[in-house]
Each structure stands twice: as C-alpha cells, then as structure tokens.
Amino acid sequence: MATGWLRGVVKEVGSGDSVVLVAAASSSFKTIPPQCHSVRQEKRVILSGIVAPRLARRDGSTVDEPHAWSSREHLRRLLVGREVTFRVDDLIRDKGIEFGTVFDSGTGENAAVAQCAAGLARCKDDPKTQQNFEYFGQAMAAEEGAKKKGVGQWAFSSDGGQGVAREGGPKRKVLQVGTGEGRVSPEDLVAKSSSPSGGPKTRLGCVVESVGNPHVLRILLKPVKGETQKREFVSATIFLCGVTCPLVQRRRQDQDQQPAGPEPYAVRSKVFVENAVLGRDCEVCFEGLDKYGNVYASVYTDKQGTSLAEQMLELGLAKTLGWSQKMLASLQGSRQRQAERKAKDGREGVWHGWEPSSEGANGANGAGASRRCLVTEVVSGDTVVLLDVASESGSATLGGEERRVHLASVRAPRLASRQRGESQGEPWASEAKELLRQRLVGREVTCVTEYERKVPLGGGGGQQQQQTRTLTFCTLTYEEKGQGGQAKTVNPSELLLARGLAQCQAHRSGDDTASNYDDLCDCEQRAKEQKKGIHGTKKPSGGAARVNDLSVNSSQQKSRQFLPFLQRGDRVGATVDYVLSGHRFKLLIPKQAVAITFALSDVRCPARGEKHSDDALRFARVHCMQRDVEVEVDGVDRGGAFTGRLLLQQRGGGGGGRRVDMAEQLAARGLALVNARGLPQGSPLLEAQQRAKDQRLNVWSGWDPSSEAKEELEQARMESEEAKTERKVLDARCVCVVSGSAFYAQEEAAGQEDEGDSAAKLLEDLASLDLEACGGGKAQAKFRQGQVCLCRFSGDGKVYRALVERARQQDGKDSYEVFYLDFGNRDVVEAKDLAPISEDRAALRHRTPLAFAVRLAHVKAPSLEEDYGVESARLLQSAVGAGQKLRLVVCREGQGSVQGSRQELVRSCVVYEHHGGKDGEGEGDDCRDSVQAEMVGRGLARVDKSAGTRRQQEKEEVAALREEEEHARKDRVGLWEYGDVGSDDEDQPQGGGGAWGRR
C-alpha cells in the first residue's frame, strides 16, 4: 500500500534505518498556539529495502551489532532537522509499522541508498522487497560499491579479503547514572565538568536523545578526549540549570485523578527545544546537584556560548529559577536574568500578559522611593530598624515612627529564636549581625524600597492562617571616606555577600528583586570561589560565646560578686544590647563575658504611661541602642541593677573623640529629672537641668519659677514647724524581731491607768480560756480572711488573739496563716486550733493590739534573703530582743508594712536602751549610743540617703550615723566588704508621682 509523496521534517533518528517525521507545517515552534493541549503528531518510518545493524536495548539486555552506532550516527547527521520528501511503501497493520522511502529535499539524496553507499546498511534479500522497492537497484549498486571500497561494515580484513561483513572495533558500552557497580554516580558526572585548578568548567560533547518536559532532557554523553578507545558512553537525565518551563507532562496528585493537560506555552516550548537540540551534537556543562541527586546542567548548541536556557528565556518560553541559578557562574546567571527581563519588556511567550507588580520597585505604597533614614537597631544579619530623617530649614531632624525593613534579595543565617525553642542559631549568624551593627547603627543611610511581600502570620488553624503581614525589602547605601579622602558609596548587602556572611535570595520567576541583583550575585560568587564564611569549611572563630546574664532573675547578692571586676578600672567598655527605659539599659560587657542591667545615677526619666516617657525612650534608643559605650560603675541597687555613668560617642559628631554623659543629655533636653541630693553646687547635671527649665523643654514645659519659689518657701515653713514639734518618746519592750530593720514592741505604759484594762490582765484572761469551750477544736470549722479569732499557740498551748491572713491546704487539711495581734509573730495552724470570738466577748475583737510595728529610723538593713540579712537580724535581736526596756524616740509614723503586704501603723524610731530616765525625755540622747549606731558601725546597716532632712535633731543624728558608716566603709566590714552598696533606686520615696515612681 503506497501513498503519495509527502513533505515533512526529520525530528529524530532512532537507528540506522528508521526516522521520526513531523509535518512540515508544525515543524516551527512559532506555529504552535499558546493554549495547545496536545503534542504535534509524529510518524515513525523504517527505510524500505535495507537493514541496518541493530542498536543495543536501553535496559542493557542486548549489545550493539557491529557498526550499529556508526550507522545510526551517519543517518542522524544526514537527516536530523532536514526537510524531506517521503512516501509510505508498505504497512504492517497489526503492528503499526510503516516502511517508506525518504529523500532529502535539499540534496535529493535517497536516505536508504546513502546508508548502503556508506557501508552502514545492506539490502534485504527477500524477493518481495526486490519486487516492491522501486529503488532496490540503486541500493544494490551502492552496496556493491561500498564492498569494493571496503567502507563501513565491508572493511577489508587483514589478509586483504573483502565482500564479507566484518566485526568492528570494541563494542559501544552505555553506562547509566546511579549507584552501584557498572554505573556512574551523579557526583562523578558533575566532576567531569569541574576544573582542578578552579577555572571555568569544561564542556563535554553529547547527543540529546529525548525531551520530556522542555527543561528535562535525556542525553548520551560521548567519551572524552583520550578515552575514545574505550567507547564508553553515559546516558543521563539532566535538568536545565537556572530555568523552569511550562509543563507538558504534569504529575497526578491522585491515582484516580484524570491526567492534566499541558500548561500554556508548554507545547511551544517543547517544540523549540526539540528543534534546537534533539538528535543534534551539543555540548553540556554539568553545574551541580539538588538535594534529591538530580543533575543540573547547561546545554550549548553553538560555540559562541549562548546556552539553550538563555535562548528559551529570551523567547519567553521559560522562567528563571533562583535556587538552581545559584549553581551557575555569576556571568551566566546575569545573562539569564537579562534575557528574562528582555522577554518581560517585550511581553514574549509566558510574559504576554505581564504587568509590573504594584508592590515592586516602580509600584505604589511608597515603593521605589528614596529617603534618608537613621539606623537605630540591627535585628539580624538582614533586618534593621530605621527612623526617617527629615530636613527642616537646612537641619536634619528625626521624625515619624521606627519601621523594620529587610535587605532586598539577601538572606543571612538565622539567629536563635526563643519562640521556636532554639538555643543556638545558624553558623555565622552572629558575625553577620555584628558586621551590620558596626557599620550601620547610628549612621544615616539612603533607603530605597525595592518590593514588598505578604507573609502569613503564625501557624495556627482557622482564621489565623488568613492573617498576613507585609514585609518591606529595601536597598541601603551610605557614604564613607575612601583612600585619598574620596567619598565612596557602600552597599552593606554587597559587603555581607562578599564576606560570605549571607546568600542571595533565590527568587521565584516573576518576583521583584533588588535593582542591583546582578552585583549581589557577583559578590556571592567571589565569596564562593574564595570559600569565605558560610561557603567554606571553617567554623566561626567566635563560636557561641557563653555570657553570664545578670539582667534576668538577678539579685543584689549575685551582682555584687561582679562589682569588684567592673570597678577595677576607671571605665569599662560595653555595648548597649537593649534600651529598657530612658535611663535604664541592658549592657553586654565582652571583656567580662557578662550582661547586666544598668541604671543612670542621679537622674530618672518619666515612668511608662507618664507624659514624655515615650520621648525619653525614643531619645535613648536613637542615641544608645547597640552603640559601643563606656560606663563608670558606682554600685549595685537592691534589685541587682548596676548604677553609674554612661558615656557615649556620637557617630560623625564634632566632638573630636570626646565622649558625652548620657545623663546630661537627657537632663539638658528636659527628658529626665535630676536628684539634687548629694550633688555639689555647679554640677553639670544641675546646670543641664536648669537650661532645660529656662527653655521650658518637655517635662519643664509648664514650669513656673514663681510657683517653684512659693513651693520652696512653703516646704521650708512646714519643715520649720515640724522641727519645733517635740518628738514623742515611748517606753517599750521588744516582743518579736522581724528583720534587721524592724520589730514589734509592746508599750510599757499601756493600760496602767485602769487595772481592769491592763495588758497583763488581758493576757491572763485569754490564757484562762478553754478553746473547746469557746467553740474551737473543730477540724471542719471555716474562718475567713481578716477575721479576728482565738488561737492556741503551739509553743505554750495558751490562747491568744490572732488575725487570719490566708487560708490554705496542708497535707489535705484546712490550715490558716495567722498573725498574733499582741506579739507580732506569725504561725500556720489547723482549724482545730482556732475558735471564733463570741458576742459576749466582742470587746476582744475591737481592742487595740498590744504589739505595734517599729522600724529603725535613718537606716536601711538588708532583708533576710540578702547578704548579711540574717547577721543584721541577729544583731538587732541581741540589742533589743532580750527583754530589756527600750526608749523609742518616734520620728514619724504612718501606714506601712514591715512583713508581707499587710498594712498597719508603723512607727519610725531611734531606739535606745532605757537607763531610768523619765517619760517624754529623749531630746538630749546621743545617737552614737543608739541601736542604729551599733548596727551601722558593724556594717550591718547603712544610712538612708533620704533621711534627716527636716528637724535639726534628725540632721545631727544622721550626721553621727554617717560617721559610723564611714568607719565601717573604710574597715570593709559587713556590707562594705566588696565596696559601695548605695543606690539611688532604693532610696527614692515609694509610690507614684514624678520621676521617682515605678520604672
């Protein structure tokens, strides 16, 4: 069955006597519509009248017949890509095999005759073929000519014989890529292109055997020079490096799912690749492997260096693939991106409907705008916090809110995240952050917004998955002086990449990138070649430095251990890690490997929520955050925070290297109040505060000098009147020592005017009561907090008045914390040891407690939990708690607490041992003989800085105590063993108001 003559194009050659043809009308990729959903039709034709040697099967079950490879290669070079004229001569219908005659349309050469003339095929000898094949005679003549010439399979034997098919040389061996014996590993395949000296990669000869998806090729790698005698070929499937194409064959997500058709432009892209490389001699350069072991390579069709991927990108038949593009040399990656940009601008292929993103460099939302900003914080190696710098009347001012931005097209190693429970970050993360900190913090930069991205918030389900936040990506540059004093522009992103401290972001095709993305890739490539940072095998020199963090769960005792080391020198170098408030910071001290909380001495900024507190915090962040500073440590407060001066150097300032005091800067701008106590006249802090007052700055905006003068006069008058008032003197005995600065006492004169109401009578009446008779002894009884009741004391079994402070469970039983009203001690008792006070004894509920709280005036002693707290309490116990009679000179009294949170009447007294004087006397007592003086002299208490400011008598008492304190300080006894323990933090009046309230 013969057909008429047809025209077609040879797509590929399968063997020495078979070709695959496509219609001439569909041979060009330009004729394929974008939405084509089926591949072009093909026709496989076996050349009539001849038989070529058979190639080995791909699975290796057979071997090549002699000259089979040469036969196939001869026909491939003769016909692939050529336009031909052909007809079908015969057909085996049940097998679908077609036999035909093929002529080269350009030369008019018969393919079958050409194969016989080259000695790479022979004519069939069956009569049917001789009868039906029109050109059998020409083929036989060509075969006879080949025999005479001894070409191809008719080569002359060593004895000169001819006319018989001869064995060729060594048989071709095809190796597959994989693991195991007789295979080539993917790593070895990639190594074939590597240069031992680190130079440009080597291109290897190959033939493209088949095309799957447009960017997936199966190639046959030819033997390299010097190994041609081995005749070892390598069959490998490769992916085009740096690009991805529309898919012709899409993977099904489910076995029952219908196969999806080709994507738009997929068939056109595949036809282009087939026309360009299928069945042709090409060059391949292996670039690398992905994490699955797939081989990525570049395929070249000419000697000029234009790769197949670049050609596809320029025609809009592929898109760049960022992560695989990083395998390429920087120049190749740049050329690919340029080709893609050209296709975008021309709306070619897959970019036919492309429009620039509204979030890109030329879009809306402020993107693409250039602005001057101040870097206030470096969050990580690719994230910073900026504050806009506005120019007003020729001067730069800071305005707006701080905003967090990310470096465009750059990814630095991740730091450890407490939210993810990570204790250690990625290698080189700290080095990348430190480089940015040293280069950028406090510096004015030019910020150009490149693009924005919306990312999901959190990882929860429900509506949270729909919530997003917008991240801004920018390019930062700044000016610095280079060699010869010439100004040069520095891009920190390029600096990070050049030092191997970051990587270029692998963008998806179509995503916006940094405007200098090619320069960034060049910097990264140089770092890779020099094996710097993350691209090398060397570990970070600093490693994970161990820092003793005293800013978390610290105490005065723990901080004091480091105090001598920080006071050893005049100043200590530090870095401000975080700004807690206007006057409070977290500092890192590298030399001591310690992190501390540091508070400025003598100044306080407005507390959180108060007016101008945000201004103070903002000023401190702008001028101190992550800066290198010097500190002079004075001491440690009771909360474990170090106190002192903080000196900083403004970047680019005109101070000539002179450092400025942060406390003075705050005071001069009216952002802090100065504690004038202890400061000499003419102090820079007081002068700075006065300038702020004169200019009515911030906290002094409503300051009125006349009203302040009136307040000072009124305060002086009140102090004068209070000084004239005689202090009350009480005779008492201590009944319970609470701490080194407080105890409970019973007044000796209480109740002696009326014997029936005397303290002794009250205690006798209570002791005579039977708890069970009063309704007690019941384990199931309930008592409420604040209830006054009768309680059996476990020490002597007697009954006393007690106040229920808290109910709790102990060993499965109801128990209560009680306070004994007449003695000041506390205990935990069971319900069976309590009894309510009946109505006929209601007077017991309302009678004033015999015990009252006493706090030592003018001094502060450490709590029981602090260093020397127990020793201080023991000394007070020996001085007042042995039953001796005491003289209490009351300085002031008011509501307060000496133990726990219970509010009660507290009397602040100077305590003397009673020597028989009359009641009401006490103004002639010498404070050097007081209990306070003994405790201060032994270094177990210190003088309160805020004490003794009104009465002259109190001033004299405080002066005497300060003398004792100075002796203890010089002798380094008790609290003064490690130096100064004073602190402004704990000596300020408690409660709200002004700068001295809560922080």
User: What is the spatial distance between Cα 169 and Cα 69, in angstroms, rounded to a whole number?
Assistant: 12
Q: Which of 71-85, 147-161, 637-651 has the lowest mean pLDDT?
A: 147-161
* pLDDT at res. 991: 36
CA dist list (Å): 974 to 347, 912, 966: 84, 22, 12
> What pLDDT band is residue 142 in, cutting at 50, 70 and 90?
very high
Residue-wise pLDDT for 450-481, tens only, equals 999 888 876 444 544 568 889 999 999 999 88
Residue 804: which H helix or E strand, with range?
strand 799-810
Q: Which of 168-172, 315-319, 811-815 has the lowest mean pLDDT?
A: 168-172
Residue 660 · residue 650 · CB < 8 Å: yes
Residue-wise pLDDT for 858-886, tens only, equals 999 988 888 889 999 999 999 998 888 99
**Can you tell me whether residue 907 is helix, strand or coil?**
strand
* pLDDT at res. 545: 63
> What pLDDT band is residue 985 in, cutting at 50, 70 and 90?
very low
Q: Which of 226-240, 348-362, 888-902, 974-988 has the lowest mean pLDDT?
A: 974-988
Residue-wise pLDDT for 895-917, tens only, equals 888 887 788 889 999 999 887 65
> What pLDDT band is residue 253 in, cutting at 50, 70 and 90?
low
Helix ranges restricted to H, 669-792: 684-694, 705-724, 759-767
* pLDDT at position 138 over 50: yes
DSSP string across 816-837:
EEEEETTT--EEEEEGGGEEEP
For residue 384, give the DSSP letter: E
Q: What's the one-letter identity of residue 798?
A: K
> What pLDDT band is residue 756 in, cutting at 50, 70 and 90?
very low
> What pLDDT band is residue 755 in, cutting at 50, 70 and 90?
very low
Residue 524 vs residue 161, higher pLDDT: 524
Q: Which of 766, 402, 889, 796 is nearest to 614 (CA)?
A: 402
Average pLDDT over residues 473-494: 88
> What pLDDT band is residue 394 in, cutting at 50, 70 and 90?
very low
For residue 278, give the DSSP letter: B
> What pLDDT band is residue 251 in, cutting at 50, 70 and 90?
low
Residue-wise pLDDT for 35-92, tens only, equals 887 778 889 999 998 999 999 887 777 888 888 999 999 999 999 999 999 999 888 8
> What pLDDT band is residue 169 in, cutting at 50, 70 and 90?
low
User: What is the spatial distance between Cα 412 and Cα 429, in angstroms, rounded to a whole number?
Assistant: 7
Q: Is the alpha carbon torsion for 12, 14, 15, 21 positive or negative? A: negative
**Can you tell me whether residue 504 is helix, strand or coil?**
strand
Q: Which two tokens stand for residue 709?
A: 């003068």
User: What is the spatial distance between Cα 166 and Cα 152, in angstroms, rounded to a whole number?
Assistant: 9
Look-up of token digits 């033997």: 223
829-860 as b/e, with b when 16 or more CB fall inside 10 Å? bbbbbbbbbeeeeeebeeeebbbbbbbbbbbb
Between strands 851-856 and 904-913, the pairing is parallel
User: What is the spatial distance between Cα 435 and Cα 412, in angstroms, rounded to a whole number?
Assistant: 11
**275: buried, middle or exposed (CB in 10 Å: 19+, 13-18, 0-12)?**
middle
Residue 740 · residue 940 · CB < 8 Å: yes
Residue 788 · residue 781 · CB < 8 Å: no
Give 3-state DSSP helix, strand, coil % of the chain, rounded to 5. Answer: 30, 30, 45
For residue 917, give the DSSP letter: P
Average pLDDT over residues 145-149: 91
Domains of the chain listed by start with CATH number: 6-154 (2.40.50.90), 173-249+262-351 (2.40.50.90), 369-415+427-456+468-535 (2.40.50.90), 548-712 (2.40.50.90), 759-846 (2.30.30.140), 852-916+924-976 (2.40.50.90)
> What pLDDT band is residue 398 in, cutting at 50, 70 and 90?
low
Residue 652: which H helix or E strand, with range?
none
Residue 597: which H helix or E strand, with range?
strand 594-600
For residue 847, give the DSSP letter: S
* pLDDT at res. 258: 64
* pLDDT at position 114 over 90: yes
**Widest Cα–Cα separation across the chain:** 154
**Can you tell me whether residue 336 is helix, strand or coil?**
helix
Q: Which of 31-40, 440-449, 565-574 has the lowest mean pLDDT?
A: 31-40
Q: Which of 669, 673, 671, 645 is nearest to 659 (CA)?
A: 645
Q: Which of 492, 527, 501 is nearest to 406 (CA)?
A: 492
User: How confident is the prediction for the chain on average, in pLDDT?
Assistant: 84
Q: Which of 276-285, 497-506, 657-666 has the lowest mean pLDDT?
A: 657-666
**Can you tell me whether residue 723 is helix, strand or coil?**
helix
Q: What is the pTM of this model?
A: 0.60
Look-up of token digits 């001439």: 24
φ, ψ of residue 212 to 5 degrees: the values are -90, -105
Q: Where are the beta strands (DSSP E) in 609-705?
A: 628-636, 642-648, 660-661, 673-674
Residue 296: which H helix or E strand, with range?
strand 295-300
User: What is the spatial distance between Cα 744 and Cα 911, in angstroms, rounded to a whole number?
Assistant: 12
Residue 760 vs residue 405, higher pLDDT: 405
